[in-house]
C-alpha cells in the first residue's frame, strides 16, 4: 500500500512539475502544444510498444509444445492471479532477465531469456514469472506510459524554450536566465521522478509476485542469483535500446556514481530484504 501511495504522489508531482514548467516556459498555449505532442507519441507507444519491444529483443513466441515448462508455469500462475493467459516468449540471450509488456491484461505478453531458464531453479523461475504477471495485473505499462507522457512533454517544453525563448502565462517573453535554468533543470527533475515511479512499481510487483506464487523466498533467491550472474554478461538489445531497461526484472545496464538515484530499479539487497520479511511473516 505504501508503494501505491508513493506512486500516486510521484504521479501528482510530475503533473505539477509539468504545469509549473509549462507556465514558465511556454505559457498556456505552449504547454498545451507540448502535452499534445507527448500524448500523440505515447499513444502510439502504448498501443504498439509490445510488438516493438519483442521485435527489438528478437523474442520468439512459444507454446506448451515448444517450451512446456515455461508455458505451463505461466498458465498456472495466470489462473491463480485470475488473469487471462498472456502470450509467452523466449529470448535467446545468455544474460538472465525477464519482462512483461502489453497495454492491458487482455493483450499482455511475458518474456524470459534462455539465460534465466538455465540459471534459476524451477521454484525461482516461478517467482520471477509471478513478478511479471503482477506487473500485468497492476497495469504498470499504463502507469509508465502516463509518466513518460508527462516527462516527454516537459522535455518538449524545455527544447521549445531553448530555441524560441520562454513565455509567461500571458504570452510575454520570460526572464531569459530563469527560462534557461528551468529548461535545463526541469527535464532532469522529470527524469528523477519517472525513475522513482519505476522503482516504486518494482517493489509493488515484488510484493504482488510473492502473493501470486505464495513463495516470497523463491523470488528473493531468484533476484539474488540474477544479480550475481548478470554481472559481466551484457544484454545486447538492452544496451542498444536503454529505454527498455526499466521493463526488466533486473536492470541490465551498468551504472556509475549516484547509481541508486538514477536507477530504474531499487537495490537488489533492499528487494531481497523486503521479500524475506514477507516470508518470515
Nearest residue to 125 via CA among 115, 139, 137: 115
Cβ proximity of 159 and 179 under 8 Å? no
Angle, CA of 227, 246 and 266, to the nearest 5°: 50
pLDDT at 211: 97
Percent of the chain scoring above 70 in pLDDT: 64
Task: Please say whether the dihedral angle defined by the alpha carbons of residues 39, 40, 43 and 45, taken in this order, is positive or negative.
Answer: negative
The catalytic residues are 132
* DSSP β-bridge partners for residue 113: 91
pTM, two decimal places: 0.77
Q: What is the band of 3 on the pLDDT scale with cuts at 50, 70, 90?
A: very low
pLDDT at 88: 98
pLDDT digits over 144-197, tens only? 766 666 666 666 666 665 555 555 545 555 556 656 666 677 667 767 776 777
pLDDT digits over 222-276, tens only? 999 999 988 878 898 988 887 788 889 998 875 544 454 457 789 999 999 999 9
pLDDT at 1: 52
Amino acid at each position: 500500500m505504501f508503494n501505491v501511495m508513493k506512486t500516486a504522489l510521484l504521479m501528482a508531482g510530475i503533473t505539477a512539475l509539468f504545469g509549473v514548467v509549462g507556465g514558465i516556459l511556454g505559457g498556456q498555449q505552449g504547454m498545451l502544444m507540448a502535452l499534445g505532442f507527448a500524448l500523440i507519441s505515447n499513444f502510439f507507444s502504448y498501443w504498439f510498444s509490445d510488438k516493438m519491444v519483442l521485435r527489438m529483443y528478437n523474442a520468439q513466441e512459444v507454446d506448451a509444445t515448444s517450451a512446456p515448462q515455461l508455458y505451463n508455469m505461466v498458465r498456472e500462475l495466470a489462473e491463480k492471479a485470475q488473469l487471462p493467459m498472456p502470450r509467452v516468449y523466449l529470448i535467446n540471450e545468455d544474460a538472465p532477465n525477464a519482462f512483461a509488456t502489453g497495454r492491458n491484461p487482455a493483450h499482455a505478453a511475458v518474456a524470459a531469456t534462455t539465460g534465466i531458464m538455465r540459471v534459476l531453479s524451477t521454484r525461482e523461475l516461478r517467482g520471477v514469472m509471478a513478478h511479471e504477471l503482477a506487473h500485468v495485473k497492476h497495469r504498470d505499462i499504463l502507469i509508465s506510459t502516463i509518466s513518460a507522457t508527462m516527462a516527454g512533454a516537459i522535455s518538449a517544453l524545455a527544447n521549445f524554450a531553448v530555441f524560441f525563448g520562454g513565455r509567461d502565462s500571458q504570452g510575454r517573453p520570460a526572464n531569459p536566465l530563469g527560462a534557461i535554468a528551468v529548461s535545463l533543470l526541469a527535464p532532469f527533475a522529470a527524469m528523477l521522478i519517472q525513475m522513482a515511479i519505476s522503482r516504486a512499481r518494482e517493489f509493488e510487483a515484488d510484493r504482488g509476485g510473492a502473493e501470486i506464487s505464495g513463495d516470497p523466498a523463491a523470488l528473493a533467491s531468484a533476484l539474488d542469483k540474477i544479480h550475481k550472474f548478470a554481472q559481466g554478461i551484457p544484454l545486447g538489445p538492452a544496451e542498444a535500446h536503454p529505454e527498455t531497461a526499466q521493463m526488466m526484472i533486473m536492470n541490465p545496464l551498468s551504472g556509475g556514481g549516484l547509481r541508486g538515484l538514477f536507477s530504474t530499479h531499487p537495490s537488489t539487497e533492499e528487494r531481497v530484504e523486503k521479500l524475506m520479511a514477507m516470508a518470515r511473516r
